[in-house]
Structure 1
Amino acid sequence: MDVRSRLVDSGVELLERDGLQSLTLRTIARAAGVSHGAPRHHFPTYAALLAAIAREGITDLDERLSPALTDPDAAVAIRTAAAAYVAFATERPEMFALITRHDLLEGAGGHLRKTTGRWIAALHTRLSEARKAPIDLEDTAALWASVHGLATLTSRRSAEPVADVDPSATLARVLDLHLRP
C-alpha cells in the first residue's frame, strides 16, 4: 500500500476510534508509520487530507443513498434513503461529523459538495413525484434539514434524555409530514 493510502486509511481508523479531535498531521503520520512530514508530501493542506478521509465516508453513504433513491415508488425511495442516512449517522457518528463539516473541508471538499448536490437534486425530484406536484426547493431543504437534524441528534446521542422517543418512529412522523400533498 502506498504512503498516501496508508495516511488516509490511518486517518479513517483514528477518526472512527478517537474522534475528529484526534486527527492531526502528526497523529495520522504516526498511525500510518511514516514521518511527521510525510502528509505534506501527499496532501497540500490539512483540509486536503481531511477531504481524502471524508471521501471514504461519502462513498459509503452514497452507496447507501443512491440505490434507495431509485426505488420506483417515490415515497418509499424517500423513506428508505432517510432511514439509510440516519443509520449511517448512528453507525459511523465520527465520520458523519466529518462529512457534514463543510467548513473544515472548504477548498478541498469539492467531491462532498458535488455528491451532496446530487442527493439534494434526486431528493427534490422524488419529493415532487411523491407529492404528485411541483415543489419549491425550500420544501426539499426543509425535508433535508429535518432528516439531518434527527441524524445529528441520534449520532450525538442527544435524543437519549427523551428515553421514550423512538428515533425510527420520529423519522416516520417527520416523513409523514413532508410527504403530504
Structure 2
Amino acid sequence: MTDGGSLRERLIDVGVDLVLTEGSASVGLREIARRAGVSHGAPRRYFPTHHALLSAIARRGFEDLGARFAAAGAGATTPRGELEALARVHVGYALERRGMFELMWRHDLLDSASQPSEQPKPSDGPRLRESTLPLFGHITALVARCRSERAAAQGTDGPDEAAPPPAVAAAALWSNLHGIAQLWAWGSLQLALGALPLGAGPGDDQRDQLITAVLDAHLGPVAS
C-alpha cells in the first residue's frame, strides 16, 4: 500500500473510532486531522466533502457487517436458518456498535445519488450504495427461496401470488429488525415486555423470540 493509501486508511481508522465512541455527529475533517496528527488540509486530499468522509467510515461498517453475515450464514442448512442467523447478527451488531449502525443507514448524510455528483479519485473506490445494496439483495434472495421451499413442502404449484414481492417482504422484515434494535437500545421493548436489563440472559432470549416472531410474520412459521 502506498503512503497515501496508508494515510487514507489511518484517517478512516480515526473516524471509525470517533463514530464508535462519540457518534457520527462528532466526525469532522478537522477533528480527524487533529487526532491523526496531520495538517487540517490533509484529509481533503482523500475526502473532498464531509459526505465522502462519512461514507468511507460507513463502508467499513458494511464490510464488517458483511463479514459477520457470511460467518453466521455459513453453518445454515436452509434459507430460513440463514435468515434467522443474519437477523440475530443484524440486531446484535446494532446493539454492540450503535454509533456505526446508526451512521450506516443514514443515506441522507452519506455519499449517495441524492448528494451532488463528484468525480471520485481512484482510491475512493465504489460509491457506498455499491457496498450496501448487495446485502439487501442477498436477504431478498433468501426470502424468495424460503417461499419456494414452503410452497414445495405444502405441495402447491408455487409461492402465494397474493403475497408481496420478495423485495417488499425483505424490506418489511428488515424494517422490523431495525425497529427491534432501535427500540431495544432505547429500553422501550424491555419496558413493554418486562425484560431484564440489556446484557442479562433472559433479555437475549426475548430478543430471539422477537426475531422469530418477525420471521414468522413475514415468512410463515416453521412447519413442525
TM-score by length of 1: 0.86
Unaligned 5+ runs, structure 2: 113-126, 152-157, 196-205
- Counterpart position of 1:164: 194
Which whole-Å deviations, capped at 9, do the CAs of 1:7-34 have from their partners, x for residues lacking one? 1000001111111111011111111111
Distance between the aligned counterparts of 2:184 and 2:131, measured in 1? Answer: 22
Q: Which moved more, 1:10-19 or 1:153-162?
A: 153-162
Q: Which residue of 2 aligns with 1:174?
A: 214
How far apart, CA to CA, are the structure 1 residues paired with 2:148 and 2:35? Answer: 48
Partners of 2:138 and 2:186 lie apart in 1 by 23
**What is the CA distance between 1:118 and its match in structure 2?**
2.8
Q: Which has the higher helix share?
A: 1
SS of residue paired to 1:4: helix
How much is the aligned-residue C-alpha RMSD, in angstroms? 2.3
Find the counterpart in structure 2 of residue 52 from structure 1: 56
TM-aligned CA deviation for residue 130 of structure 1? 5.1
Matches within 5 A, 1:103-118: 103-107=108-112, 108-118=127-137
Which amino acid counterpart does residue 79 of structure 2 have in structure 1?
Answer: A
- Structure 1's 167 and 4: CA in aligned 2 closer, same or farther, altered over 3 A? same
Quickly say closer, same or farther: Cα 1:33–1:123, change in 2 above 3 A: farther
1:11 aligns with 15
Alignment: residue pair count: 181
Q: 1:158 and 1:7, CA in 2 relative to 1: closer, same or farther beyond 3 A? A: farther
Q: 1:4 to 1:128 in 2, by over 3 A?
A: same
**Pair 114,141 (structure 1): closer, same or farther in 2 beyond 3 Å:** closer
Query: After superposition, what is the alpha-carbon deviation per residue over 1:46-99, rounded to whole angstroms, capped at 9, x for unaligned?
Result: 111111111111011101223444522122111111001001101100110011
Does 1 or 2 have the higher relative contact order (CA < 8 Å, sep 6+)?
1
Counterparts of residues 12-27 of structure 1 (less than 5 Å): 12-27=16-31
Contact residue 29 and residue 40 of structure 2 kept, 8 A: yes
Cα distance change, pair 155–59 in 1 and its aligned pair in 2 (3 A): farther
- Answering whether residue 38 of structure 2 is matched by residue 34 of structure 1, we say yes
Larger Rg: 2
Of 158, 170, 195, the match for 1:140: 170
2:177–2:211 Cα contact (<8 Å) kept: yes
Q: Report the CA distance between 1:167 and its aligned residue.
A: 2.2
One-letter identity of the residue aligned with 1:113: T
* Deviation of the 1:128 alpha carbon: 2.2
Shift of 1:102: 1.1
Structure 1 residue 84 corresponds to structure 2 residue 114: no
Query: How far apart are the structure 1 equivalents of 2:72 and 2:148?
Result: 15
Provide the C-alpha distance between the structure 2 equivalents of 1:161 and 1:144, rounded to a whole number of angstroms.
23
The match for 2:202 is none
Q: CA deviation at 1:122?
A: 3.0
Report the AA paired with residue 178 of structure 2: H
In the alignment, structure 1 segments of 5+ residues that lack a partner are none
SS of aligned partner of 1:161: helix
SS in 2 for 1:104: coil
